[in-house]
Chain A
Amino acid sequence: MGKMDKMAAADLIMGLFLIVFGGIAIRSSLNMKVYKTFLDAPGFFPFILGIIFIFLGSVMTFSSFRRKGFEQIKQSIKNFQIIYLFSNIKFKRVMILIALMVIYIFIFIDRLNFIIATALYLFFTLYYLKSANIIKIIFISIITSYLISAFFTSFFRIPLP
């Protein structure tokens, strides 16, 4: 299967998502308070956007159906391509990088000093990417996080998280 085929399947999912999303947007906007008339109500513009999403979603769904998007989804499930995705090196690499970002942003920054949080993030990311040997990685992580912190706080007086 080429790239083009995968896009048809992805477009079908996105098309259906947009139709559902548009429906939710319309429902939410109709539930918003009307002050004078519906034309100047807070929900009026989101209501129009909901209609646009349903329309564009329908166009995408129709187009991807014609491009055999549904057959491709069925084929992917049949051939266990979703499981194959998780053994894909590129996919695994991105997932691990995202996980490291999540730890840095949602755990380290909230709880640790910025320099320590950044040094830890850099150490684990550089180590995972095999960017250099371990001594260099430790050196780069500590020096870089310290320099970034000093540069922004001392030279530019910018608050750090």
Chain B
Amino acid sequence: MMFDSFLQQVNLFFHAFTAQLYLTNILIIAFATLMGIIIGAIPGLTATMALALLINLSYGMQFDLAISFLLGVYVGAIMGGCYSAIMINIPGTPAAAATALDGFPLAKRGEGGLAIGTGVIASFVGMLISIACLIFITPFIYKIALKFGQWEYFLLAVFGVMICGNLSTGKDPVKGWVVGFLGFFTAMIGLDKVYAYPRFTLGLLQLKGGISLIPALIGVFGISEILIVLEEEIPYKILGKITKIIPSWKTIYSLIPTAIRSGIIGVGIGAVPGAGEDVAAWVAYDVGKRSSKQGEKFGTGCLEGVAAAETANNACIGGAMIPLLTLAIPGSPPAAMFLAAIWLHGVQPGPMLPIEHPGFLYEVAISLLIATFFMLILGLIIAKPIASILKIRREILMPIVLPLTVIGAYAGGVRIFDIKVTFFFGILGYILRKLDYPMAPLVLGIILGPLADISFRQALMQSRGSLIPLLGRPVGIVLLVAIAWIAYSGFRRTIEYTRKHTQKDTRVIQEG
């Protein structure tokens, strides 16, 4: 029985493999990966923004091609961030912030090419580890997810927002939770899914359809980013020339333990809802620094530091796909864009996905694999020419991004109202970011809001309005304990933050 099931999976894998290997698909992935690398390399244009800008190109594509295209962009953009982190000390994406710590000192010493080469190869290794984990772990999660009832789905949605809020806020987790629940509230706008009753529509006909996910995401990540980048001039210059790129075999061999460790960390963090590539890179960098024999050299221009951060941020991609495909919960903000895109194409991820679309997991894995190889090849080839792209002034580039976000918002539903939604969420995102509120929980809240609403109401109806029968369910108990722990640790951090700043602020006010 188990052997039959294994053979069936092998069969599905090879079917997906042959189905993905045709010229148009390969060319689309190559183009998407290149676009992702270029956009990711430009400071201010994040991986999420790359997907937000290029999602509109996928509207007219066949479903398979659209998936390949978006995954190519995702893989390329996360790696692309390392170029500007190394060459100009401004991470192209937040995921590459840890890379700059060692990459930039290396560039100052004239070893920028070597740092880029190491970053690209490390990203390649990270992707391979994450694809392997995606293929082998996902089927087990599907089996667990099949046992989930309405109550568990509700708790999972709350758990996702709570942990995302906790991880994405540096000092005060309450801020993360506030935006997460505001995301839930945003999802309540429009006709109620059970009785078609209009909620919070303010009498506007357009709001009856609810807030469309893609315009909201484009606003939060696109328009707010334009304003953040353009609000002040930050001149930068490219240091040194790119000479030798590919590191020696001896160097590559010495970095293998770091890459494997960081790859596993990346996958693990990627699988946590909303944590994202930047958290993965920082954690892997920190663990690398503690466990390395050359730990004291981290931050001074050490290839091991570059490898740790770059392996982890790319490994996060496969990790982020695990909860996305099994539970429809994105592991990172770019994964949220990907989820919105596949919803648009009519595919509903979740435990029923292997039944409704049996080979989908493997199609995703194969597309990621092809994109990974293109990322390696193109990443090494364009290391030198990318310097001229980085010279383009952001004051020219960022205004051009706005019309692209407008098209992205409009093209999905062909509604002018969606452009206005994008603008509103852009301004909201800008204000919240300036006030230190993270954006990932907001997005996760918008995505998980309908699930939380319906599941909670249905679970209570099934238990005839009593919470007692629901509290005895094993998976529910685990999730409840996890939520309670996150709440406890988060409030403790808030109390510590308040206590620390009460003393400081008293001093500041007393001094004048």
Contacts and interface: CB of A to CB of B under 8 A. Distances in A.
A binds B: yes
B506 A68 contact: yes
B402 interface: yes
Contact of A132 (B396, B452, B456, B491): B396
Contacts of A10: 435
A140 B400 CA distance: 9
Interface of B: 56-57, 59-60, 172, 174-175, 177-178, 181, 184-185, 188, 192, 194-195, 197, 199-200, 223, 226-227, 230-232, 393, 395-396, 399-400, 402-404, 406-407, 410-411, 414, 416, 419-420, 423, 426-427, 430, 435-436, 452-453, 456-458, 460-461, 465, 491, 494, 497-499, 501-502, 504-506, 508-509
A66 B498 contact: yes
B501 A161 contact: no
Nearest to A89: B232
A77 interface: no
14 contacts: A4-B508, A45-B188, A45-B457, A49-B185, A60-B174, A60-B175, A63-B174, A67-B502, A97-B227, A97-B231, A101-B423, A132-B393, A132-B396, A152-B407
B107 to A, nearest CB: 27
Given A105-B406, A158-B59, A161-B406, A93 B416 contact: no
Interface in A109-161: 109-110, 118, 121-122, 125-126, 129-132, 140, 144-145, 148, 152, 156-161
A25 interface: yes
Given A56-B178, A60-B174, A159-B411, A42 B192 contact: yes
Interface of A: 1-2, 4-5, 7-8, 10-11, 14, 18, 25, 28, 32-33, 35, 37, 39-40, 42-46, 48-49, 52-53, 56, 59-60, 63, 66-68, 71-72, 75, 90, 93-94, 97-98, 101-102, 104-106, 109-110, 118, 121-122, 125-126, 129-132, 140, 144-145, 148, 152, 156-161
B419 A32 contact: no
Contact of A157 (B60, B200, B223, B231): B60
B399 A129 contact: yes
A126 B419 contact: no
Contacts of A1: 508
A112 to B, nearest CB: 13
Give chain B's interface secondary structure class. Answer: helix
A48 B232 CA distance: 41
Given A33-B197, A63-B174, A101-B223, 20 more contacts: A4-B501, A7-B436, A11-B435, A32-B199, A42-B195, A45-B453, A59-B174, A59-B491, A60-B178, A71-B509, A94-B430, A98-B227, A101-B426, A105-B406, A105-B420, A121-B402, A126-B395, A131-B396, A156-B60, A160-B410
Contacts of A67: 498, 501-502, 505
Give chain A's interface secondary structure class. Answer: helix
A18 to B, nearest CB: 7
Given A28-B200, A42-B197, A148-B407, A156 B57 contact: yes
A56 to B, nearest CB: 5
B417 to A, nearest CB: 11
Given A44-B457, A45-B453, A56-B178, A94 B231 contact: yes
B395 A18 contact: no
Q: Which of B177, B399, B411, B461 lies at the interface centre, i.e. has the most chain A CB atoms within 10 A of its CB?
A: B399
A37 B185 CA distance: 21
A154 to B, nearest CB: 11
Nearest to A119: B403
Contacts of B231: 90, 93-94, 97
A56 B174 CA distance: 7
Contacts of B456: 44-45, 48
B410 A25 contact: no
Nearest to A52: B181
B505 A49 contact: no
B194 A40 contact: yes
A68 B423 CA distance: 34
A148 B408 CA distance: 12
Given A35-B195, A45-B457, A131-B396, A94 B227 contact: yes
Contact of B423 (A14, A105, A157): A105
A140 B392 CA distance: 13
Contacts of A4: 501, 504-505, 508
Contacts of B396: 126, 131-132, 140
Contacts of A105: 406, 419-420, 423
Contacts of A152: 56, 407, 411
A148 B197 contact: no
